[in-house]
Structure 1
Amino acid sequence: MLKTTALSAAVLAGMLSIAPAMADQQQPETDNINDVPAGNYTIDPLHSKITWGVDHYGFSHYEGQFVDLSGSLRLGEDPADSNLKIEIPLDKVLTGSDLSKHLQGEKFFNSAEHATATFTSTSIEIDGDDEATITGNLALNGQTHPVEIDAEFNRGAVYPFDEKYHIGFNGEATIKRSDFAMNYLIPEDDQQGISDEVTLHIEAEFVPEKGQ
């Protein structure tokens, strides 16, 4: 009986010593996208946002944000064989002023009729360990047009405050308001106004889908 108990304890101790090593292999700390475990991930809305910017009459490069993003990333064994979808609630535009309500109106995002903008990837081209070009379609204000995101993988690791595996990316893109039927105050000829061109800076963190 004592021998059996001792053997069981030894086996248990061995399993416990192996478990952390296996967990480290399944959730590696890495800055190489090729080392991140394949699978389904969901966006972490607490640590994800899109910052947009426009030229405001030549006075400033005015910026605002979209928050409370949702979406998913299916990461393939080959990262190029992946799919990304991001949903942007247009009533969550932040400017720090009453301008937020104005932007939700008919002259801009028209969020009463089109509450959400959606980006859906169509192809992903990997460049090295941490960069990619993500091509996809952006549906916004009843219009859909192709958009290209220059993306960079930042890091994959266990986040100590929720003990979940996080993977983080940033990206840059440029769109035109006129492509999405938002022509209000776009300058003509030598006049000043609000630029047609809009810069987008994306910061996004993803965690493994529940049950994975």
Structure 2
Amino acid sequence: MSTDTPAKTPVTSVATLPLAPGEWELDPHHSSVDFAIRHLGISKVRGRFTEFTAGLYVGETLDDVRVTAEIALASVDTGNADRDAHTRSAELLDVEKRPTMTFRSTRISGDGEDWTMAGDLAIGNVSHPVTLAVEFGGVVDSPLDHRKHAGFEATGEIRRGDFGLNFFPGLLGELIRIRLDMQFAGPQTQDT
């Protein structure tokens, strides 16, 4: 029988990120939600969602950090009004039945600038686990509102079929690449 003890996993605390505990407020004017999907397998259609909310709660430890987001699917914008109307229709996203896409984090890990965020993504009433790579852009004092601002870029891929979005196989790719650029303003009561 071996007497070796297993190596301890390093514990990462919020102290690794210079973020004050509390609710961080989304700065929607400096945030975006973008996506790309292959068309006919030879090019990509790119778009964005223009209506979304997000929340960041920083606790005393990394296990206490929570990220949430809600996206209005009807706000899809690919730069083509006819295509956007078709995308909203019952034939594709069916925004009457599936008005929102929501995300709720379940685990965050990493260090420095590179992090991983696992969570549950729901489109309509179908939920599936996803993992996003997160790059921490840093934190600065804003001269505009005199609060600390923190920036993050989260990227990942989701499979349409996981959410029952099986329309037009072959015409549209199965993978959707997503990118979220988010800026949050720190708690009003934090020290400067």
TM-score, scaled to structure 1? 0.76
Q: Name the % identity.
A: 27
Q: Which runs of 5+ in 2 are unaligned?
A: 1-14
Counterpart in the other structure of 1:14:
none
Q: Is the 8 A contact 1:169 1:203 kept in 2?
A: yes
One-letter code of the match for 1:110? Answer: D
Note if 1:46 corresponds to 2:29: yes
Shift of 1:156: 0.8
Query: After alignment, is 72-81 or 168-177 more displaced?
Result: 72-81
Higher helix fraction: Structure 1 or Structure 2?
Answer: 1
Counterpart in the other structure of 1:204:
182
Note if 1:172 corresponds to 2:148: no
Note if 1:122 corresponds to 2:100: no
Shift of 1:133: 0.9
One-letter code of the match for 1:62? Answer: V
Note if 1:70 corresponds to 2:53: yes
Counterpart in the other structure of 1:195:
173
One-letter code of the match for 1:118? Answer: T
Superposition pairs for residues 1-212 of structure 1, below 5 Å?
Answer: 34-98=17-81, 99-125=83-109, 127-187=110-170, 193-209=171-187
Please tell me whether Structure 1 or Structure 2 has the larger radius of gyration of its CA atoms: 1
One-letter code of the match for 1:74? Answer: Y
Higher strand fraction: Structure 1 or Structure 2?
Answer: 2
Counterpart in the other structure of 1:12:
none
TM-score, scaled to structure 2? 0.83
Shift of 1:200: 0.5
One-letter code of the match for 2:27? Answer: D
In the alignment, the residues of structure 2 paired with residue 157 and residue 80 of structure 1 have an alpha-carbon distance, to the nearest angstrom, of 24
Partner SS for 2:84: helix
Q: Is the 8 A contact 2:45 2:78 kept in 1?
A: no
Shift of 1:83: 0.6
| Length, aligned pairs only | 175
In the alignment, the residues of structure 2 paired with residue 209 and residue 106 of structure 1 have an alpha-carbon distance, to the nearest angstrom, of 41
- Tell me how large the CA RMSD over aligned residues is: 1.8
In the alignment, the residues of structure 1 paired with residue 43 and residue 175 of structure 2 have an alpha-carbon distance, to the nearest angstrom, of 14
One-letter code of the match for 1:164? Answer: R
| TM-aligned CA distance change 1:103 to 1:209, over 3 Å | farther
Q: Which runs of 5+ in 1 are unaligned?
A: 1-31, 188-192
